[in-house]
Amino acid sequence: MDFKTEISALAAEAIKTAFPGAEIDAETAAGMLETPPDQAMGDYALPCFKLSKTLRKGPPMISDALAGHISAPFLDRVESVKGYLNFFVNRATYSEEVLEKALKMGESYGSGNDGEGKNIVIDYSSINIAKRFHIGHLSTTMIGNALYKMYKFLGYNVTGVNHLGDWGTQFGKMIAAYKRWGDRETVIKGGVDEMVKLYVRFNTEAKENPALDDEGRAWFKAIEDGNPEALEIFNWFKEVTLADANRVYDMLGVTFDSYAGESFYNDKMQPVIDELREKNLLVEDKGAQIVKLDDYNMPPAIILRSDGATLYATRDLAAALYRHNTYNFDKNLYVVAYQQDLHFKQIFKVMELLGWDWAKGCEHVNFGMVSFEGQTLSTREGRIVYLEDLLNQSIEKAEAIIEEKSPNLENKKEVAKTIGIGAVVFFALYNGRIKDIDFWWDRALNFEGETGPYVMYTHARSCSVLRKAGECLAAPDYSALNAPEAQAVVKLIDAFPETIRLALQRSEPSLITRFSVELAKAFNKFYYESRILDDDMSARRAKINLTIAAKTTIKTALGLIGIGAPERM
């Protein structure tokens, strides 16, 4: 039973009876129904001022007239209060509806086939070659991962793209440096750090010896011309970078379906450039080819530099077209920091000017900056926190906490890993994405307060309650859940499916993070104020059902944002 549908039908029927001749159908009534902020005003409310124009009566008169015409077994009462018609659903019926559905669907509760036949592309993480993964990459990686999981959960066909930053003159310099001073063993052992060292040395020595820059340029040209040696070294640099990154992706449980990055579009930009020219959008400016965007209050999008080289924007235009042709996307999301707001506004505008109708599906999912314990990060000043180090430290700290709190726990290492990593991810996804994040250890790893460990701990607690409860075969008496603290849990479980949908509408995984905290808090309140292992077996059964549904919903919510949920902590 769907209460909203039932109530709208009853309301439409009552309107017909009380105001003969009035034409309000159930669907219209459904559109008017609201969920009052406070349970004292019922579960649903019909604000009758929305009807007063059609019915030519004041709202209080309407609500008074309707109240007498509505009754149903699932409704405890219907009240008319100052023009509002408030519906009070029978608590036990409500609990039964919500919980039986959640229990029946189990781990798929909240999922659906909303996305059947629809394609989503998500561009996230999108790291640069020969740079190490630092905490600035946490948001794009985990927001993208969460959106990926949520879309899948709703039945969409999703393609995750790591649009690698693997093109640019710096790679020529890196090869030049490697040829001069590097060797395979050292790079294999040192990974990206070693490549960075070579690059730094190159730039230092090039200040004294400008001939080096020519060497760098020559190697870059060699990559572009497809010189086998240059390509071999460059592709190997990519492998080394990805091997480094994959250790982090493995820890985070993040995967991709495509690694087509900037260099993948080397041979795919010409048609875009031709089309821009054909449509008279290209203008020459000091030898460069640009698309003017003055009319839209933006600086021009540069398509070709004066030396004929293509740019980041050129590649992104080719990439969007390629994704359209390859994936026929409904949505193409770019999870990229707000520093690139202008870039995306520009390329989206250029696509619109090109008449690429499908570009409406492109969206920039932007997010704020990350700093660490009050300090902004800066590569140049050496203030940089590598994500791998941060995760490992977090695991260690979690291990120490477990050692102190539950030294006898089995598989402590595994659990510490889940908690340590989950704490960091939770912290990154806790606030609305556009907010800047300042990472603090004590705030991320606290077992109390609105943290990952707190939610995970609540999940483990519900598992423990269920282990203690053992088997209970009685039929549930859902009126045992009429108390406000139990009802608060039921309401949240009920709200889970729409919360996922809202989170996707807004590309805002933080709604799920917040939801998990709310549910954990509500469950803990219920746990403290109500004896779950009730002597009355039917009451016990209802409370156990609530516990199972809460446990599963917390686990699913955490899973959707990429966080694990240990059964014991």
**For residue 160, what are its two tokens?**
């995750």
Contact 318, 349 (CB under 8 A): no
Our answer to whether residue 137 is catalytic in this structure is yes
494: nearest Cα among 466, 463, 519: 519
Q: Quick check: 346 binds ligand ARG (CB under 6 A)?
A: no
**For residue 95, what are its two tokens?**
């609990």
Q: How far is the CB of 340 from ligand ARG (least distance, A)?
A: 7
345: nearest Cα among 300, 309, 311, 382: 300
Contact 277, 179 (CB under 8 A): no
Residue 44 or 264 having the CB closest to ligand ARG: 264
Q: How far is the CB of 163 from ligand ARG (least distance, A)?
A: 4
CA of 319: how far to CAs of 165, 330, 347, in Å? Answer: 13, 15, 11
| CA pair distance 81, 381, nearest whole angstrom | 64
Stretch that binds ligand ARG, among 75-83, 88-96, 120-128, 152-160 (CB under 6 A): 120-128
Q: Quick check: 165 binds ligand ARG (CB under 6 A)?
A: yes
Residue 123 or 494 having the CB closest to ligand ARG: 123
Q: How far is the CB of 126 from ligand ARG (least distance, A)?
A: 4
The residues, any chain, with a CB within 8 Å of residue 189's CB and separated by 6 or more, are none
| CA pair distance 292, 300, nearest whole angstrom | 5
Q: How far is the CB of 347 from ligand ARG (least distance, A)?
A: 9
Residue 42 or 144 having the CB closest to ligand ARG: 144
Q: How many residues does the chain have?
A: 569
Among 123, 215, 494, 508, binds ligand ARG (CB under 6 A): 123
| CA pair distance 27, 116, nearest whole angstrom | 24
Residue identified by tokens 């250890």 is 441
Residue 243 Cα to chain centre, angstroms: 25
For the chain, report the end-to-end CA distance as a whole number of angstroms: 38
Catalytic residue among 50, 53, 57, 134: 134
Residue identified by tokens 């769907």 is 2
Q: Quick check: 206 binds ligand ARG (CB under 6 A)?
A: no
Instruction: Show contacts with ligand ARG in window 511-550 (CB under 6 A).
Output: none
Contact 420, 369 (CB under 8 A): no
516: nearest Cα among 479, 462, 478: 462
DSSP 476: P
Residue 123 or 477 having the CB closest to ligand ARG: 123
Binding string to ligand ARG for residues 442 to 481, with x set by CB under 6 A, is what?
Answer: ----------------------------------------
Q: How far is the CB of 509 from ligand ARG (least distance, A)?
A: 18
Stretch that binds ligand ARG, among 123-131, 395-403, 434-442, 517-525 (CB under 6 A): 123-131
Residue 32 or 311 having the CB closest to ligand ARG: 311
Among 336, 350, 460, 561, binds ligand ARG (CB under 6 A): 336
| CA pair distance 565, 26, nearest whole angstrom | 42
Please give the full DSSP string across 490-549, using - where no structure is assigned: HHHHHHHHHHHHHHHHTT-THHHHHHHHHHHHHHHHHHHHS-SS-SSHHHHHHHHHHHHH
Q: How far is the CB of 334 from ligand ARG (least distance, A)?
A: 6
Contact 122, 147 (CB under 8 A): yes
Q: How far is the CB of 22 from ligand ARG (least distance, A)?
A: 54
Q: Quick check: 126 binds ligand ARG (CB under 6 A)?
A: yes
Give kind and range of the element (H or E) at residue 459. Answer: helix 452-469
Q: How far is the CB of 351 from ligand ARG (least distance, A)?
A: 13
What amino acid occupies position 269?
A: M
**Interstrand relation of 119-123 and 157-161 (parallel, antiparallel or unpaired):** parallel
Q: How far is the CB of 461 from ligand ARG (least distance, A)?
A: 40
500: nearest Cα among 207, 146, 22: 146
* Number of residue whose CB is nearest ligand ARG: 165
Residue 316 or 494 having the CB closest to ligand ARG: 316
Catalytic residue among 50, 137, 149, 331: 137
Give kind and range of the element (H or E) at residue 195. Answer: helix 184-208
Among 54, 128, 203, 393, binds ligand ARG (CB under 6 A): 128
Residue 72 or 337 having the CB closest to ligand ARG: 337
| CA pair distance 14, 8, nearest whole angstrom | 10
Residue 121 or 390 having the CB closest to ligand ARG: 121
Stretch that binds ligand ARG, among 122-130, 294-302, 387-395, 467-475 (CB under 6 A): 122-130
Residue 302 or 416 having the CB closest to ligand ARG: 302
Our answer to whether residue 134 is catalytic in this structure is yes
Catalytic residue among 50, 131, 491, 555: 131
Q: Quick check: 160 binds ligand ARG (CB under 6 A)?
A: no
Binding string to ligand ARG for residues 260 to 299, with x set by CB under 6 A, is what?
Answer: ----------------------------------------
Among 50, 134, 163, 323, binds ligand ARG (CB under 6 A): 163
List residues bridging with 80 in a β-sheet. 85
Backbone angles phi, psi at 164, to 5 degrees: -60, 140
Q: How far is the CB of 178 from ligand ARG (least distance, A)?
A: 22
- Any idea what the Cα angle at residue 383 is, between residues 392 and 173, rounded to 5°? 100
- Any idea what the Cα angle at residue 56 is, between residues 52 and 59, rounded to 5°? 35
Among 316, 450, 477, 494, binds ligand ARG (CB under 6 A): 316
Q: Quick check: 314 binds ligand ARG (CB under 6 A)?
A: no
Q: Quick check: 334 binds ligand ARG (CB under 6 A)?
A: yes
Q: How far is the CB of 336 from ligand ARG (least distance, A)?
A: 5
Binding site for ligand ARG (CB under 6 A): 123, 126, 128, 163, 165, 316, 319, 334, 336
Active-site residue list: 131, 134, 137
